[in-house]
Amino acid sequence: MSVEVGHYALALALALAVIQVVLPFWGARARDAALMSIGPAAAVAVFVCVLIAFAALVKAHVTSDFSVVNVVENSHSLKPLLYKVTGVWGNHEGSMLLWILVLALFGALVAVSRRSVPEPLRTDTLAVQGVVTIAFLAFVLATSDPFARVFPAPAEGQDLNPILQDIGLAIHPPLLYVGYVGYSIVFAFAAAALIEGRIDAVWARAVRPWSLVAWIFLTLGIAMGSYWAYYELGWGGFWFWDPVENASLMPWLAGTALMHSMLVMEKRDALKVWTLLLAILTFSLSLLGTFLVRSGVLTSVHTFATDPGRGFFILCILVAFIGGGFALFAWRAPVLKQGGLFAPVSREGALVLNNLLLASACATVLIGTIYPLALEALTGDKISVGAPFFELTFLPLALALLLLVPFGQALAWKRGNLLGAAQRVVAALAIAVVGGAVTVAVTRGGPVLAVFGVGLGLFLVAAGVNEVVARSWSRGMPLSNALRRAFGLPRSAWGSAVAHAGVGVVVLGLAAQAWSVETLVTLKPGEAAQAGPFTVVLEGAFPRTGPNFNEEAARFRLIEGGAAVASVEASKRFYAARATTTTEAGIRTLGLSQVYVSLGDSRDGALGVRIYWKPFVLLIWLGAVVMALGGALSLSDRRLRLGVPVPSRRAQASLPTATPAAAE
Amino acid sequence: MTIWLAFAVMTGIAVLAVLWPLSRRLPTRAGAVDQTAFYAAQLAEIDRDLGRGLLEPGEADAARAEAARRLIRASAGAAPATGGDSEPALRRRRAASAVALSTIPLVAIAVYGAVGSPGLPAQPLAAREAPRAGGMGMAEAVARVEAHLARDPADGRGWDVLAPVYLKSGRAGDAVRAYENAIRLLGETPDRLAAYGEALVAAANGVVEKAARRVFERGLAGDPKSAKAQFYLALAAEQDGRPDEAATRLSALIASAPPGAPWRSTVEAKLAALSAPAASAAIANLPASEQKAAIAGMVEGLAQRLAQDGNDAQGWLRLVRSYVVLGDQAKAVVAVQAGKRALAARPADVAGLEGLARELGLVEPAAKP
Amino acid sequence: MTRKQRRLALIGSALGVLAVAVGLVLFAMRDTIVFFYGPTEIAQKGIGPGARVRIGGLVKPGSMVREAGQTVQFAITDTATDVAVTYTGLLPDLFREGQGVIAEGTLQPDGSFRAASVLAKHDERYMPREVAAALKKQGVWQGEQPAAASDAKAVTQ
């Protein structure tokens, strides 16, 4: 019975979502408090229904109920329990249901967070959110029903694609979805502000936590996906400018811009229209990401579904929401009260530049992703736009942006002083130059760009530290005082310092890859190859049987300076159920660096082996975690939610250097 | 029926959850629906946080000043809200209730009606297996044993159970592997060796190859009275062109047969077929190419005879075997089908023919499991 | 600064950044874009040696020859025309004769193709989009199969 209860709950959720849209919206127009209060109740009810549906699907997967098509196609009674559960969203139907679950969860959270959002704004936001929910529920029920049944039930399921049977892949789609869907709330808030015809700092403060949550999860999701591709696909790369990766990068770039422009709005009541536009854009790019991945217009690892019917439906959703969003914007934006203008040299001026660069960078990624599709549709010419394109377009813009970050951080609100800002970052700049020089000396050369990257990374990290030090310590102050003041700094200040330092860490990790080594050899047992500082010796190859696969494993010994330091094992697996071979890369972490071994074919007793030495490669993902941590710190700042201007005037007065201050 | 009851309860709860806010008496102040309430609440929260020491007094003052400023601005621009118990408000609520009461069940039932299958109970694997454990189908039993062996491939008993089932269902190759595993894990016994040999013969389409012969010899060494081993060794001798040795073995087998042995008639028939046409001995002396042609000619003759008078069950069996020995699977399958048609009146003989077909691993295209 | 000047500064910097971005995109479009062809198109369009292109098709059965080291030779075919390909490196997991494949690299003066990377993306029911389109043109591939529950991509570079 539970399966059909879940199925019915999904239908009921659709009905409730209709109510969530219609009645409260009517109430908001009529200013009827009673009708408006239906919105939160309906939003919570929708969430409960979708939760029941999701639980029912999980139960069907866990109990191997092969009367459900989704379970037959994506599960197997012998699969480990963990992968039975993660298999729920390892496929198209289940992942769309997860999408809706997160959507409904956010709706319910907005509904119950009574005190942070003014009432009419909340009503309209929930109504817009309800429209999104309706669209996706209709999509799932009409074209991707996870509860479709089959009778009589087959005796056994068809297993999960072994390449997807992995904990990294199990975690990263939910992270990405929380990010994507988080921006749907931001979109709903933006649409509500346009409908209300009013937007101010209160709006920015209400939206801030949602935009931060979405950003944090998107950051982690992208990093997780990148690490998954790195160790699971077995070819040593971590970013391929694959359309699916771009699909998650674009909303991240737009969302990062949004986060910063909202700051200007919150502090200076400016950039209102631009912020709304960015909010709509970010969600549009999230939808585009879903469309690109789900419709099968791209061929990529993540495209589980290739079905034109679904693609068309998603395209309709895409056109409706993006078109609708921009139409609403064009119609209502002129009604909004314009914010003030400001001096070009100021924190807000720097943030505008940040937004311009981020938006342009996002646009280049969009062009590189969409252009091949458009060209093929128009002329039939098939092209591929790969890493070289993005390295020429995205990279310069990103580098320019990152180079300016420390200066922007150092500028004061309202009226900045370029020279003063330069003086504040001079220490960080010195560290960067010294670091770059040391790099050149130690590595005896190296690509210019990589040396520059090392310097840039150090610059960003040092500037992050400097940011905290400058605001809590002045010359001659005892350390204890400085520490107390440092801990007294608003968490949002810590958050931004940490997040920017995290970007620096990522840049360091990326730059270090210029010194990575790749060796391609055929080895017989006992033979060795050189990879970076290590001699890699093949100890032997042996067959092995796993729970649902057979594998050919090979063991390697890593020798540095004559002494064995570690061993690493790589294998090639064959999954009989799917007649699929996968490469299991052998990865050995040594400090922050890794040795990465993947196997090719063996012939005449010799094994084709690809060995990588990847110095400081972990910094790339660690940096992303640090960035997310910064976001979390900022999220936990209570004062911003209450609208406390920080730091208070008294504190500001006691600081010799001009500090960024909230103004009004 | 319970399922519809559950749906009704769910729908009822959903409708109630939505209608519940309508039934509450809400504050009728104008501010309730505008931002003023929000700022008022914010002021209260600032005081609370100050009391709990989450804010510095200075910060609280600044925040309070700002919130108060916004409050004043908001209340200046606030539109008077309708609501409360005024006539239009009541009418609106009634309309809203009607909409919720009708829309929710209608939409939910319509959507579910289009996609749902209310008649189908959930069928978790465990529940499907439990009640049928007594009279479980063969295929399912095999699947379960296979699943068990996939988890624990070192369970020899499992292979031992599975092997004869494979052999009976025509999966000779699987049977060979299963017997090999069983022998490896549980050790050799004459019976297991004989059965293993039989599987090898079936896998080789009825030809007793060298490997199979060695297995039978080992089996016979372990148990000189093993009828199966003796019989197949006789068959091997016959196929190798030593009919005398075959006849000797078969005679010995009949001599040592316990009274009432079910296989006795088969062996006697075989012996009779062996000694009857002396031609077979003559053929054995021919060169290989002619030998084959001669045999083919004989088989052709048999086929023609059976086509005219199909009432000879033994003849059909021999024909099928002959085709298999000649390596003509397709003709063997056709012969099985023709024989079954000709012998339709005698179910016992049809079954015998089918048994042979299974034994030889002949699978009719349509009958493939 | 006056209000007008501030507005001008804002618009000016926006246009500046935009111009840089557009310039970069246009510049990159000229050099970095790789065209995709089927073997027949290569022959028909007379693509000269040295150009970086992608070739997609099926690995011709029986054409695969392993040479010394990690070098492999095989032919990519759309059943009408073949292109001989040389590649040094590990082949993707799913590389098999008779299966869809994409090779990126440059044409040599002798008409053969030196691949820098080979991609195979398929299971038995799935084909790279470009390969399917190219083969459809040749009338080899009949229609798309319904949703493949799995595709895997493997790349070597």
Residue B295 lies in a domain: yes
**Rounded CA gap, A321 and A333, in Å?**
17
**Residue whose tokens read 């979405």:** A214
> What percent of chain B has pLDDT above 70?
77
Provide ipTM, 2 decimals: 0.82
Residue B171 lies in a domain: no
Find residue A564's DSSP bridge partners.
A559
Cβ-based contacts of C90 with chain A (< 8 Å):
520, 598, 600-601, 608, 610
pLDDT tens by residue, B46-60: 777 777 666 667 767
The whole-chain average pLDDT of chain B stands at 76
pLDDT at C39: 84
Nearest residue, CB atoms, B108 vs list A11, A547, A645? A11
Residue pairs spanning A and C at CB distance below 8 A: 154
The verdict on A527 touching B (C-beta cutoff 8 Å) is no
Tell how strand C113-121 and strand C100-107 pair up: antiparallel
Contacts 24+ apart (CB under 8 A), C66-69: C66/A603, C69/A522
User: Across the interface, do B96 and A26 touch by the CB < 8 Å criterion?
Assistant: yes
pLDDT tens by residue, B167-212: 776 667 778 888 888 888 888 888 888 889 888 888 776 778 788 8
Nearest alpha-carbon partner for A431 in A401, A454, A413, A414: A454
The verdict on A113 touching B (C-beta cutoff 8 Å) is no
CATH classification of the domain holding B327: 1.25.40
Maximum pairwise Cα distance, chain A: 82
User: Across the interface, do A361 and C35 touch by the CB < 8 Å criterion?
Assistant: no
Q: Average pLDDT in the A70-87 region?
A: 84
**Rounded CA gap, C82 and C85, in Å?**
9
Kindly state the DSSP code that residue C157 receives in the 8-state scheme: -
pLDDT tens by residue, A461-479: 999 998 888 888 877 788 8
- Find residues 36-55 of chain B whose CB sits inside 8 Å of chain A: 37-38, 41-42, 45-46, 49, 54-55
Closest alpha carbon within chain B to A548: B150
pLDDT tens by residue, A40-54: 999 999 999 999 999
pLDDT greater at residue B150 or residue A428: A428
pLDDT tens by residue, A164-181: 677 777 888 889 889 998
Question: Which of A286-295, A318-327, B293-302 shows the highest mean pLDDT?
Answer: A318-327
pLDDT at A73: 82
pLDDT at A168: 76
Answer yes or no: are the C-beta atoms of A135 and A17 closer than 8 Å.
no
Nearest residue, CB atoms, C21 vs list A161, A363, A581? A363
Question: Which of A609-618, A631-640, C37-46, C115-124 shows the highest mean pLDDT?
Answer: A609-618
Using 50, 70 and 90 to split pLDDT, how confident is the model at B63?
Answer: confident
User: Across the interface, do A15 and B108 touch by the CB < 8 Å criterion?
Assistant: yes
Q: Is B137 exposed, middle or buried (0-12, 13-18, 19+ CB in 10 A)?
A: exposed
User: Across the interface, do A161 and C152 touch by the CB < 8 Å criterion?
Assistant: yes
Q: Average pLDDT in the A616-623 region?
A: 95
CA angle (A213 as vertex; A95, A293 as ends), nearest 5: 30
User: Across the interface, do A388 and C28 touch by the CB < 8 Å criterion?
Assistant: yes
Nearest residue, CB atoms, C70 vs list A397, A520, A583? A520
pLDDT surpasses 50 at B30: no
Residue B340 lies in a domain: yes
Using 50, 70 and 90 to split pLDDT, how confident is the model at B337?
Answer: confident
pLDDT at B35: 61
User: Chains meeting A at 3+ CB pairs closer than 8 A?
Assistant: B, C
Tell me the two tokens of residue C120. 């195979």
pLDDT tens by residue, A237-290: 888 888 888 989 999 999 999 999 998 888 887 888 999 999 999 999 998 887
Annotated binding residue C122: yes
**Rounded CA gap, A345 and A324, in Å?**
36
Question: Which of A228-232, A279-283, C51-55 shows the highest mean pLDDT?
Answer: A279-283
Q: Average pLDDT in the A129-134 region?
A: 96
pLDDT tens by residue, A133-143: 999 999 999 98
Distance from CA of C54 to the nearest CA of A (A): 8
Encode burial over B57-79: b for 16+ CB neighbours within 10 A, e otherwise.
eebbebbbebbeebbeebbeebe
Q: Choose from A169, A277, A299 for mutation: most chain C CBs within 10 A.
A: A299
- Find residues 72-91 of chain A whose CB sits inside 8 Å of chain B: 77-78
**Rounded CA gap, B46 and B70, in Å?**
14
Annotated binding residue C37: no
Cβ-based contacts of B11 with chain A (< 8 Å):
12
- Find residues 3-22 of chain C whose CB sits inside 8 Å of chain A: 3, 6-7, 9-10, 13-14, 17-18, 20-21
The verdict on B116 touching A (C-beta cutoff 8 Å) is yes
Q: Domain ranges in chain A?
A: 1-161, 166-338+345-389, 417-513+622-653, 517-614
Nearest alpha-carbon partner for B22 in B96, B99, B105: B96
**Residue whose tokens read 């020089």:** A437
The verdict on B1 touching A (C-beta cutoff 8 Å) is no
- Find residues 53-112 of chain C whose CB sits inside 8 Å of chain A: 54, 66, 69-70, 88-91, 93-94, 104
Peptide bond into A152 cis (omega under 30): yes
pLDDT at A499: 96
Q: Choose from C1, C22, C25, C144 for mutation: most chain A CBs within 10 A.
A: C25
pLDDT greater at residue A11 or residue B81: A11
Tell me the two tokens of residue C150. 């799995």
Closest alpha carbon within chain C to A352: C10
Cβ-based contacts of A141 with chain B (< 8 Å):
111, 115
pLDDT surpasses 90 at C140: no
Domain that holds residue B315: 286-367
Q: Please give the full DSSP string across A447-470, using - where no structure is assigned.
A: -HHHHHHHHHHHHHHHHHHHHHHH
The verdict on C27 touching A (C-beta cutoff 8 Å) is yes
Distance from CA of A611 to the nearest CA of B (A): 34
Lowest mean pLDDT among A373-382, B99-108, B222-231: A373-382
Dihedral sign (CA A381, A384, A389, A390): positive
Distance from CA of A656 to the nearest CA of B (A): 20
The verdict on A636 touching B (C-beta cutoff 8 Å) is no
- Find residues 233-252 of chain B whose CB sits inside 8 Å of chain A: none
Tell me the two tokens of residue A274. 């631009």
Total number of domains in chain B:
2
Distance from CA of A433 to the nearest CA of B (A): 40
User: Across the interface, do B18 and A12 touch by the CB < 8 Å criterion?
Assistant: no
User: Across the interface, do B122 and A67 touch by the CB < 8 Å criterion?
Assistant: yes
Contact exists between C and A (3 or more beta carbon pairs < 8 Å): yes
**Residue whose tokens read 């624990």:** B152
Cβ-based contacts of C24 with chain A (< 8 Å):
364, 392-393, 396-397
pLDDT at A49: 97
Distance from CA of C14 to the nearest CA of A (A): 6
pLDDT at B267: 79
Cβ-based contacts of C150 with chain A (< 8 Å):
161, 163-164, 304, 578, 580
Q: Average pLDDT in the B56-85 region?
A: 67
The verdict on B58 touching A (C-beta cutoff 8 Å) is yes
Query: Helix, strand, or coil here: C55?
Result: strand
pLDDT tens by residue, A556-566: 999 988 888 88
Cβ-based contacts of A127 with chain B (< 8 Å):
none
Distance from CA of A662 to the nearest CA of B (A): 11
CA angle (B195 as vertex; B189, B200 as ends), nearest 5: 125
Cβ-based contacts of A124 with chain B (< 8 Å):
none
Query: Helix, strand, or coil here: A567?
Result: strand
Cβ-based contacts of B18 with chain A (< 8 Å):
16, 19, 23, 38, 41-42, 45
Using 50, 70 and 90 to split pLDDT, how confident is the model at A434?
Answer: very high
Q: Choose from A76, A119, A150 for mutation: most chain B CBs within 10 A.
A: A119
Cβ-based contacts of A67 with chain B (< 8 Å):
120, 122-123
Tell me the two tokens of residue A167. 């904990």
Residue pairs spanning A and B at CB distance below 8 A: 232
**Rounded CA gap, A21 and A5, in Å?**
24
